[in-house]
Amino acid sequence: MKKFLYTALSLMIAFAGFISCSDDQTYAEQKDKERKAVDAFLKRDVTIVGPSGDTICNVGVINVITEQTFLDQDSTTNLENNEYVLFANNGIYMQIVRRGVGEKVAKGQTRQIACRFIEYNILGDSLQLRNDVSYWHTNPDIMAVTNTSGTFSGRFVTGDMAGSMYQTYGEEKVLEGWLAPLPYIRVGRQTTAEGEIAKVRLIVPHTAGQSNAASNVYPCFYEILYQECRD
């Protein structure tokens, strides 16, 4: 039943993407439309709500900082100023809400990381996917992440343990956007009230996004929790 529901959802997302990108638009025009949507999102003071009208995430007006400022601040973003760092090489914006507990994924390591998230289609102005609800409680999105000399790659768990990303988009490779925070956060498990797991917020352009975003040229906002899987 779960597989059927998310196959249907995948088709709906694909259809929505098709409608949003008219056949007479060039790729350059689609990219320009995406850029303008991101620029507007930064200034809009967006609040993301669920189907029942409950507030899921208040994004707020975003203050963009450079990578140099980010590094000068010990690779942190000031939450009081609602800062997001813009990575110039891939167009990803990132806010580190919490650095997390445990250790970073070290060079040469492969770690299993469970993710809880919301995915918001910025161009479509809509909540598109989430696994932070009871429906997905037993199937978080798990990715096997490898750090190869500072370059991160990852694969989603498939089969019976597949989470919502793989079931919705059918892509085993982890999108670049989800890997971008890993050099800066720690991945562990919460063992004390104060020791909360890593939490980030991202704006991910289509070039670093999931397969549907890539093919239909739209950006997504994510709020993601990263937690080490149990042995």
CB 96 within 8 A of CB 200: yes
CB 101 within 8 A of CB 191: yes
CB 225 within 8 A of CB 198: yes
Buried b (16+ CB within 10 A) or exposed e, 157-181: beeeebbbbbbbbeeeebbbbbbbb
**Which CATH number do you get for residue 78?**
3.10.50.40
- The predicted pLDDT at position 13 comes to 53
Question: For the segment 93-131, what is each residue's pLDDT rounded down to a tens digit?
Answer: 999 999 999 999 999 999 999 999 999 999 999 999 999
- Res 80 pLDDT > 90: yes
What DSSP line would sit under 94-119, residue for residue? EEEEE--SSB---TT-EEEEEEEEEE
Tokens at 131, concatenated: 């696994």
- Res 71 pLDDT > 50: yes
Q: What is the Cα–Cα distance from 129 to 120, expressed in whole angstroms?
A: 7
**Owner of token pair 């917020």:** 201
Q: Average pLDDT, stretch 209-218?
A: 97
Question: For the segment 159-209, what is each residue's pLDDT rounded down to a tens digit?
Answer: 988 999 999 999 999 999 999 999 999 999 988 877 899 999 999 999 999
- The predicted pLDDT at position 65 comes to 98
- The predicted pLDDT at position 105 comes to 97
Q: Average pLDDT, stretch 50-77?
A: 96
Range of the domain at 174: 2-228
Task: Sort 19 into a burial class: Cβ within 10 Å, 0-12 / 13-18 / 19+.
Answer: exposed
- Total structural domains in the chain? 1
Q: Average pLDDT, stretch 211-219?
A: 97
CB neighbours of residue 89 within 10 Å: 6
- The predicted pLDDT at position 5 comes to 45
Find, among 145, 230, 191, 206, the residue nearest to 17 by Cα.
206
Q: What is the Cα–Cα distance from 41 to 62, expressed in whole angstroms?
A: 8
- The predicted pLDDT at position 7 comes to 40
Q: What is the Cα–Cα distance from 108 to 38, expressed in whole angstroms?
A: 35
Question: For the segment 133-161, what is each residue's pLDDT rounded down to a tens digit?
Answer: 888 888 899 999 999 999 999 999 999 88
- The predicted pLDDT at position 194 comes to 78
Which amino acid, one-letter code, is at 71? L
- The predicted pLDDT at position 15 comes to 44
